[in-house]
Chain A
Amino acid sequence: MKTAWIFVVLGVAFLVAGSYLGLFVAPAEEYMGNVQRIMYVHVPTAWNWMLAVLYAFGAAIAFLFTANAKWDARLEAGLEVSTLLAFLLCCQGSIWAKPTWGVWWDWDPRLTSVAVLLFASIGIIALRGFVDDPHRRAVWSAVATIIASVDLPIVYYSVKWWNSLHQQQSSPQTVSSQFHLPLRLNAFGVLFLMIGFIMLRTRVANMNRARETALPPMTEHAGEIA
């Protein structure tokens, strides 16, 4: 578990560096002013959220093909971490939307897709809580994760379409070239942090699973006839 904590520390270091640059060194953007600085944490969170979803999807497929419990542990970790990132993403996006568009939510296709996937992953985590048999729990969450992941692009395109008929808003702009360094630092920061979290969470899942399937402890007189 040393490696996991190294990743976490590295992640925090990069985030501190990147955020410092993003908050105090990079110039304010032309139209958005200082609010644009939110992008330095929003965009890295978004990229890593997609990675986490991809990881969970991969783990789900791997489990269905191998029936190896370690993939279920990875799926559990991927689900939880991607839920965390999705939640943060929705909050950041909402905080960005208020000063920019005057409302807390602007139905941006990317943000809305994240919200839908957030609910979907919460549902799958809830499902896991209600199934007692470990194997069945693993199979079902893998199936549900695959179904939800396949849905992600469909949700994105349908919301984009749906939204485009009403408004012609631009979504959070891609950051222009002057601002690349803080963005890259933060992107790696969140990435390392995420890798560390997933490793740690996988360990928790493995330990829980071991505890669940363990035999009852041997008592002093076990095995005696009389």
Chain B
Amino acid sequence: MSGVITGGWSFVIAAYSLTGAGFLIYAISLIMRLRETK
């Protein structure tokens, strides 16, 4: 499927922020769980 796709920054930002948020939330959950078991 050819043809130039213009713009699309919103999707790129969405993908990157989702990934970042995912990692951040997981890291926080790990910290919380580590604190709890100490």
- Chain A residues with CB under 8 Å of chain B are 1, 8, 19, 23, 30-35, 37-38, 41-42, 45, 84, 87-88, 91-92, 95-96, 98-101, 169, 193, 197, 200-201, 203-204, 207-208, 211
Contact = CB atoms under 8 A, between A and B. Distances in A.
A197 B3 CA distance: 41
Nearest to A94: B15
Contacts, number: 79
Nearest to A33: B5
Given A197-B27, A197-B30, A201-B30, A42 B15 contact: yes
Contacts of A31: 2-5
Chain B interface, >50% SS class:
helix
13 contacts: A31-B4, A33-B5, A33-B8, A34-B12, A42-B15, A91-B22, A96-B15, A99-B8, A100-B1, A197-B30, A200-B30, A204-B30, A207-B34
A81 to B, nearest CB: 8
Contacts of B6: 33
Chain A interface, >50% SS class:
helix
A200 B8 CA distance: 36
B19 A41 contact: yes
Interface in B1-38: 1-9, 11-12, 14-16, 18-19, 22-23, 26-27, 30, 33-34, 37-38
Contacts of B33: 204
Contacts of B26: 84, 197
